[in-house]
Structure 1
Amino acid sequence: MDLVLIEALGVDTVIGVYDWERTITQRLVLDLELATDIRPAAADDDIALTLDYAAISEHIADFAARHDFALVETFAERLADTLRQAFGIAWLRLTVRKPGAVSAAAAVGVRIERGTRPEAT
């Protein structure tokens, strides 16, 4: 098993439980690990045979722009579902951080894993 990485992807979305948060967009920072086998793509030097991180990043930005949630947990869960369906991802680890949400912390957030992690080959 191999992992495609997307690190520190910033997206703007409406997120938060307070009334004032429902009237603005806020930045979320995402890290993703996506399980795949890169060997076919590497053998043929063909992006169509792997997870296209540019397409996935665009999908995430579009998702963030189209949706608003109260909880970071909900954002993470729904995003993981849509990524797995849209790109056929068997397993992913997604970290969603909300910088500045707690003044004493650089960021707060959640980390989830969804799907079945393939065995290393």
Structure 2
Amino acid sequence: MIEGLQVEALVGVYAHERDAVQPLLLDIELGYDNRKPAASDDVADTLDYAAVCARVRQLVAEREPQLLETLAEALAADLLRSFNAITAKVRIRKPLAAAALGAASVGVEIVRDAGD
């Protein structure tokens, strides 16, 4: 799992959101069979957190969606495929939008399986 990964994104439906990038906070959980890395104690047999973070940053930079839902679905699908995960849980929060509303957090969370 990766919690609180901050990325800069051009995302939103309102004109002021389309003028400049804004920070997003992402939580990513990838489900996989961890028995092999547990038995081998070899990092080569497990998920590489740095590679997951790099891939997420790349995907966010390549897209300019209006909706967080669109971004979450794209991230989940790509992470399942790219890292041979069984499940992907993607949570995206918009801290500037939350602050503007006087809320602690706003965003979207999805869970997808490799078979979806």
Per the normalisation by structure 1, the TM-score is 0.86
State the match for 2:83 in structure 1: 87
| Larger helix fraction of residues | 2
TM-score by length of 2: 0.89
Q: Which residue of 2 aligns with 1:8?
A: 4
1:17-28 aligned at under 5 Å gives the runs 17-28=13-24
- Gaps spanning 5+ residues in structure 2: where? none
RMSD: 1.6
**Equivalenced residues, count:** 113
| Partner Cα separation in structure 1 for residue 34 and residue 97 of structure 2 | 37
Contact 1:37 1:50 in 2 (8 A): no
**Is the CA contact (8 Å cut-off) linking 2:23 and 2:96 kept in structure 1?**
no
Cα deviation for residue 42 of structure 1 reads 2.6
Gaps of 5+ in 1: 117-121
| 1:107 alignment partner in structure 2 | 105
Q: State the distance in 2 between where 1:8 and 1:56 align.
A: 13
Could you tell me the percent identity over the aligned residues? Answer: 44
Q: Distance in 2 between matches of 1:88 and 1:39?
A: 15
Q: Hey, which of these two has a bigger chunk of strand by percent?
A: 1
Provide the residue aligned with 1:68 in structure 2: 64
Larger deviation, residues 47-56 vs 67-76? 47-56
Query: Which residue number corresponds to residue 38 of structure 1?
Result: 34
Q: Give the distance between the partners of 1:100 and 1:34, measured in 2 at CA.
A: 27
Asked if structure 1 preserves the Cα contact closer than 8 Å seen for 2:22 and 2:96, the reply is no
Residue by residue, what CA displacement relative to the aligned partner does 1:86-111 show, whole Å, maximum 9, x if unpaired?
A: 11111121111111214211221011
